[in-house]
Structure 1
Amino acid sequence: MVTTLEHTNLTVTDALATAAWMASVFGWHTRWQGPSIHSGFSVHVGSDDSYLALYQPKTPPARNAAGSYATIGGLNHIAVTVSDLDATEALVRAQGFAPHSHADYEPGRRFYFNDSDGVEYEVVSYS
């Protein structure tokens, strides 16, 4: 049996804006968008094989003041692999996000950044 991850669902303040920066930085495309659970709105953005479901509730969501690492079941970060780490970092900066925690250790080079909703992303290159 082969198991693959199809998607992860995130609550965001603006699903369309988040999908737009993801398309610019990661080259992803919108696979679907429309009304969703609890009168919210969702955008599925990613590749042909997997995606992030960006859920925007009808009422703006609250931030967890304790942070993800202090919350059982908290989302700590989302990692993506890229072929050109430096070019991707430039795209991240162009979106107004601040890369941090640069590291170069086995098995690859990486950096992190937080988006406008406070979601942390790890960008890593194994080449």
Structure 2
Amino acid sequence: MDSLVIGAIASLGAGLATVVGALPILLPINLTQRVQGIMLGFGAGVMLAATSFSLILPGTEAAIAQGASKPYAALTIVIGILLPLTIKSKDKNMNFIRFEHINLSCKNIDDSRNFYQTLFPDWYVRAEGVFNGRRWMHLGDRQFYFALNDENNQERVHNAYENIGINHVGFVIKDGETMKKRLEDKGIEYYTMSAAETKHRIYVNDPDGNEIELVEYNQNYALK
């Protein structure tokens, strides 16, 4: 069989495999963070293997075949890998990595923890301790957390939508119906609003009166 035909068949097979591998994204499946981590790790391993066996090793062999010594060929590959790391971006927005945490003062830190774990059952206590005689706790996940401070002697001053300050904090969720049922099961009051781009907009106050917005976007909303 002609090598051109073989190459075309191999390319077609690889393309079909990519399509088949992407099909599960269309299924309504909610994967846990652990499963997502395993899948991402596997995908990263495949790409590293492809980089090694399909790029680095053939490139080294080609350099040697053209008369370069093994150390020189290896050095060329290393320089090629490290060179992009020396290029500095002129985009100052690259300094922002992610939104990490919000610091909250609480009347009762345990009540606040129970409330937020009702909203987000996968959140856990990342760290906790005592500082200057008051309890503190970092509650969240690997990407974001609330820094809760037990201030049972303080009173709330800011009123949302009436004073200058934060009115609410918004979180994007996967399933608004499930969230509403969870709130109702716990006896937590909420109200809803509607917008063209969202399927659910749920508003609820934590034990200290901080308003939380829970948003489920429509599937066809481009900026979600």
CA distance in 2, matches of 1:109, 1:41: 35
- What pairs with 1:1-127 in structure 2 (closer than 5 Å)? 1=94, 2-27=96-121, 28-36=123-131, 38-57=132-151, 59-64=152-157, 67-72=159-164, 74-126=165-217, 127=219
TM-superposed deviation, 1:18: 1.1
Q: C-alpha deviations, 1:7-53, integer Å up to 9, x for none?
A: 000111111221122123212111111113x5321111111111011
CA distance in 2, matches of 1:77, 1:50: 17
CA distance in 1, matches of 2:107, 2:150: 6
CA distance in 1, matches of 2:212, 2:172: 11
Question: Which structure 1 residue ranges, 4+ long, deviate > 6 Å from structure 2?
Answer: none
What's the TM-score once normalised by structure 2's chain length? Answer: 0.50
TM-superposed deviation, 1:125: 0.8
CA distance in 2, matches of 1:71, 1:40: 28
CA distance in 2, matches of 1:3, 1:95: 35
TM-superposed deviation, 1:105: 2.3
Q: Is the 8 A contact 1:16 1:43 kept in 2?
A: no
Tell me which protein shows more helix as a share of its residues. Answer: 2
Identity %: 27
Tell me which protein shows more strand as a share of its residues. Answer: 1
TM-superposed deviation, 1:70: 2.9
- Which stretches in structure 1 are left out of the alignment for 5+ residues? none
TM-superposed deviation, 1:104: 3.8
Q: Which moved more, 1:6-15 or 1:90-99?
A: 90-99
Q: Which moved more, 1:45-54 or 1:104-113?
A: 104-113
**Aligned residue-pair number:** 123
- Which stretches in structure 2 are left out of the alignment for 5+ residues? 1-93, 220-224
**Larger relative contact order (Cα-Cα within 8 Å, sequence gap ≥ 6):** 1
